[in-house]
């Protein structure tokens, strides 16, 4: 299946997870097309000064994880009690149960790929 950019609408999420301003998300793959593997597969854009709130990674009782790949811009990645600056080409992995957040600290939009994957409930720890 091929999808062109204009066939994938962008959704604006204000104050995502208690964060500042908004995040625009463009879904490449709908959740029901992922065969139960996840909820979000797409590109996100955050304006300068925007963020999503510090939160624990656990959207489902069985668990999940989120992956971020920075395309452009500068960000602060919050991981438990650590804070680190990220830029183009950097990757941020948030496994189940990790407290995390992301903030645009640049003067341009922060663009990143985001994937929210579900843990298979049949898997054992």
Mean pLDDT calculated for residue range 97-113: 96
Distance CA 15, CA 50 (A): 8
Cα distances from 21 to residues 33, 76, 122, in angstroms, run 29, 16, 38
The pLDDT of residue 81 is 93
Of the chain, the percentage scoring pLDDT greater than 70 comes to: 92
pLDDT tens sequence across 29-74: 887 888 878 888 999 999 999 999 888 877 666 678 899 999 999 9
pLDDT-based confidence at residue 121 (cuts at 50, 70, 90): low
**Higher pLDDT pick, 97 / 7:** 7
Cα–Cα distance, 92 to 79 (Å, whole number): 9
pLDDT for 56 equals 82
The arithmetic mean of pLDDT across residues 78-103, rounded, is 94
Cβ neighbours, 10 Å, residue 90 = 15
How would residue 8 be classed by pLDDT, with cut points 50, 70 and 90?
very high
Name the residue ranges covered by the structural domains of the chain: 17-98
Element holding 42 (H helix, E strand)? strand 38-46
Spatial distance between the Cα atoms of 56 and 11, rounded to a whole number of angstroms: 23
Distance, first Cα to last Cα, the chain: 34
Q: Which residues pair with 113 in a beta bridge?
A: 43, 69
The pLDDT of 71-85, averaged and rounded, is 97
């Amino acid at each position: 299946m091929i999808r062109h950019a204009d066939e994938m609408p962008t959704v604006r999420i204000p104050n995502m997870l208690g964060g500042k301003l908004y995040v625009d998300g463009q879904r490449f793959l709908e959740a029901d097309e992922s065969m139960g593997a996840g909820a979000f597969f797409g590109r996100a854009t955050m304006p300068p000064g925007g963020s999503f709130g510090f939160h624990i990674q656990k959207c489902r009782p069985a668990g999940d994880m989120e992956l971020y790949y920075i395309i452009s811009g500068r960000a602060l990645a919050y991981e438990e009690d650590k804070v680190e600056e990220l830029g183009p080409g950097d990757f941020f992995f948030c496994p189940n149960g990790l407290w995390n957040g992301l903030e645009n600290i640049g003067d341009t939009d922060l663009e990143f790929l985001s994937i929210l994957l579900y843990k298979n409930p049949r898997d054992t720890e």
